[in-house]
Amino acid sequence: MRISQVRLLSFLLLLVSSIPALSQDSASSAPQAAASEAATTGQGAVNLSPPPPASFNDVMDRVIQREHFFLAQMRHMHPMVETYLQDLKTDKDENALLVKDQYFLGRLDMSDGPEDTSFVGQPGFGHRMLNHLTGLYAMHFLPLGFAQMVVLDTDFQKKYYNFTFVRREFLGEVRCLVIDVQPKENAPPGRFLGRIWVEDQDYNVVRFNGTYYPHPKTSYYLHFDSWRLNMRPGAWLPAYIYSEESDMKTNLGRSLHFRAQTRLWGYDLKALNKNSEFTQILVDSPQSVKDQSDVGADATPVVAERMWERQAEDNAVERLQKIGLMAPPGEVDKILLTVVNNLLVTNNIELQSDVRCRVLLTSPLESFTIGHTIVISRGLLDVLPDEASLAMVLAHELSHIVLGHHFDTKLAFNDRMFFPDEDSFQRLDFKRRSSDEEAADAKALELLKNSPYKDKLGSAGLFLRALQQSAPDLPNLIRPHLGNSMASNKSIRMSVLLTSAPQLEPQRTDQIAALPLGGRIKLDPWTDQVELAKAKPVALASAREKMPFAITPFFPYLTRISSPGSEKVALTTPAPK
Contact 430, 401 (CB under 8 A): no
Q: Which of 349, 390, 387 is nearest to 367 (CA)?
A: 390
Contact 464, 503 (CB under 8 A): no
User: What's residue 386's pLDDT?
Assistant: 95
How many angstroms separate the CA atoms of 355 and 365, rounded? 21
How many angstroms separate the CA atoms of 547 and 553, rounded? 12
User: What's residue 220's pLDDT?
Assistant: 72
Long-range contact set of residues 21-30: C-beta below 8 Å, sequence gap at least 24: 21/113, 21/154, 21/155, 22/71, 22/113, 22/154, 22/155, 23/155, 26/155, 26/157, 28/157, 29/64, 29/68, 29/155, 29/156, 29/157
Contact 155, 26 (CB under 8 A): yes
Does the pLDDT at position 195 exceed 90?
yes
Does the pLDDT at position 168 exceed 90?
yes
Does the pLDDT at position 251 exceed 70?
no
Contact 440, 493 (CB under 8 A): no
Average pLDDT over residues 535-554: 90
Q: Which of 394, 328, 386 is nearest to 355 (CA)?
A: 394
Q: Which of 290, 243, 341 is nearest to 552 (CA)?
A: 243
Q: Which of 156, 106, 121 is nearest to 262 (CA)?
A: 106
Contact 226, 263 (CB under 8 A): no
Asked if omega into 328 is within 30° of 0 (cis), the reply is no
**Number of residues written out for the chain:** 577
User: What's residue 522's pLDDT?
Assistant: 94
Long-range contact set of residues 326-330: C-beta below 8 Å, sequence gap at least 24: 326/358, 326/359, 326/360, 326/361, 326/375, 327/358, 327/359, 327/360, 327/361, 327/378, 327/523, 327/528, 327/529, 327/530, 328/272, 328/527, 328/528, 328/529, 329/358, 330/359, 330/529, 330/530, 330/531
pLDDT tens for residues 479-521?
999 999 998 767 899 999 988 899 999 899 999 999 999 989 9
User: What's residue 404's pLDDT?
Assistant: 95
How many angstroms separate the CA atoms of 350 and 468, rounded? 34
Lowest mean pLDDT among 24-28, 35-39, 290-294, 535-539: 24-28
Over the chain, what is the mean pLDDT?
Answer: 81
Residues 6+ apart with CB under 8 A from 282: none
Question: Exposure of 259 by Cβ count < 10 A (0-12 exposed, 13-18 middle, 19+ buried)?
Answer: buried
How many angstroms separate the CA atoms of 426 and 329, rounded? 24
Average pLDDT over residues 133-147: 45
How many angstroms separate the CA atoms of 383 and 392, rounded? 14
Helices (H) and strands (E) counted in the chain, each on its own, are 15, 20
Average pLDDT over residues 299-313: 93
Q: What is the 3-state secondary structure (H, E, C) of 170-236?
A: EECCEEEEEEEEEECCCCCCCEEEEEEEEECCCCCEEEEEEEEECCCCCEECCCEEEEEEEEECCEE
Q: What single-letter amino acid sits at 183?
A: P
- Return the number of other C-beta atoms located less than 10 Å from residue 543's C-beta: 14
Q: What single-letter amino acid sits at 407?
A: F
Residues 6+ apart with CB under 8 A from 358: 317, 326, 327, 329, 333, 373, 374, 375, 376
User: What's residue 210's pLDDT?
Assistant: 95
User: What's residue 295's pLDDT?
Assistant: 60
Angle separating helix axes 387-402 and 457-470, nearest 10 degrees: 90
What is the separation of C-alpha 213 from the centre of its chain, rounded to a whole number of angstroms? 28
User: What's residue 45's pLDDT?
Assistant: 47
Q: What single-letter amino acid sits at 336?
A: L
Pairing of strands 174-183, 356-360: unpaired
Question: Exposure of 186 by Cβ count < 10 A (0-12 exposed, 13-18 middle, 19+ buried)?
Answer: exposed
- Return the number of other C-beta atoms located less than 10 Å from residue 437's C-beta: 18
Edge-to-edge strands, sheet with 356-360: 356-360, 373-377, 367-370
Q: Which element (helix H / strand E) includes 437? A: helix 434-449
Q: What single-letter amino acid sits at 170?
A: F
pTM for the model: 0.83
- Return the number of other C-beta atoms located less than 10 Å from residue 347's C-beta: 18
How many angstroms separate the CA atoms of 89 and 414, rounded? 49
Q: pLDDT-derived band of residue 293, with 50, 70 and 90 as boundaries?
A: low
Does the pLDDT at position 149 exceed 70?
yes
DSSP 23: P
User: What's residue 116's pLDDT?
Assistant: 58
Q: pLDDT-derived band of residue 43, with 50, 70 and 90 as boundaries?
A: very low
Q: Which of 462, 319, 448, 317 is nearest to 384 (CA)?
A: 462
pLDDT tens for residues 359-373?
999 999 999 999 999
Residues 6+ apart with CB under 8 A from 66: 202, 203, 204, 205
Contact 377, 363 (CB under 8 A): yes
How many angstroms separate the CA atoms of 223 and 248, rounded? 10
How many angstroms separate the CA atoms of 138 and 320, rounded? 36
Does the pLDDT at position 270 exceed 90?
no
DSSP 132: H
User: What's residue 90's pLDDT?
Assistant: 81
Q: Which of 195, 104, 89 is nearest to 146 (CA)?
A: 104
pLDDT tens for residues 323-358?
999 999 999 999 999 999 999 999 999 998 899 999
